[in-house]
């Protein structure tokens, strides 16, 4: 089959109807309303809240002199352990190790939480004017 014959045959293929597919917005809405997410929404919400409320002081403590003590893993709750993005041990020249602990991006988690709770949605009627009734009365010619 030559290229021209293939193109002619290909152009004769029926185009499937897109009527039942819906718009991109409808598809996103369907995905957003997934049964798995819906069935586990309370646990997902609690996990997001746990990530947002995790603090570095839940992982380590320090005193007024600047001495830092990292807590043992059994002393740290699983929710806080999930909020740790990276732990890095850096050996120093004096024989001691420096520990770098990086937590997840709380701003991103808080944005997700605010969006899920509806705090970032703008009111639809904010820009619409209020309905005001104005009754215009013109002068009358009352000549007596």
Q: What number is the average pLDDT over the span 6-26?
A: 60
Could you give the CA distance from residue 129 to residue 114 in angstroms, rounded to a whole number?
28
**Residue 127 placed within a domain:** no
Angstrom distances, CA of residue 82 to CA of 37, 54, 74, 142: 20, 9, 13, 84
Inside any domain, residue 41: yes
Considering the domain boundaries, does residue 11 fall inside one? no
How many domains is the chain built from? 1
Q: How many helices and strands in the chain, by DSSP H and E?
A: 6, 4
For the question of whether the overall pTM of this predicted structure is more than 0.85, the answer is no
pLDDT at 126: 62
Domain range for 90: 22-116
Instruction: Read off the pLDDT band of 3 (50, 70, 90).
Output: low
Residue 68 counted as domain residue: yes
């Amino acid at each position: 089959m030559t290229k021209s014959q293939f193109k002619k045959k290909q152009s004769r293929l029926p185009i499937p109807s897109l009527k039942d597919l819906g718009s991109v917005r409808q598809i996103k809405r369907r995905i957003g309303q997934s049964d798995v997410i819906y069935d586990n929404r309370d646990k997902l919400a609690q996990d997001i809240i746990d990530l947002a409320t995790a603090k570095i002081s839940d992982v380590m403590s320090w005193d007024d002199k600047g001495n830092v003590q990292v807590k043992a893993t059994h002393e740290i709750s699983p929710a806080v352990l999930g909020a740790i993005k990276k732990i890095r041990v850096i050996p120093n020249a004096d024989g001691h190790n420096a520990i770098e602990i990086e937590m997840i991006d709380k701003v991103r988690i808080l944005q997700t939480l605010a969006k899920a709770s509806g705090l970032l949605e703008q009111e639809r009627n904010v820009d619409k004017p209020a309905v005001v009734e104005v009754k215009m009365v013109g002068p009358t010619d009352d000549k007596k």
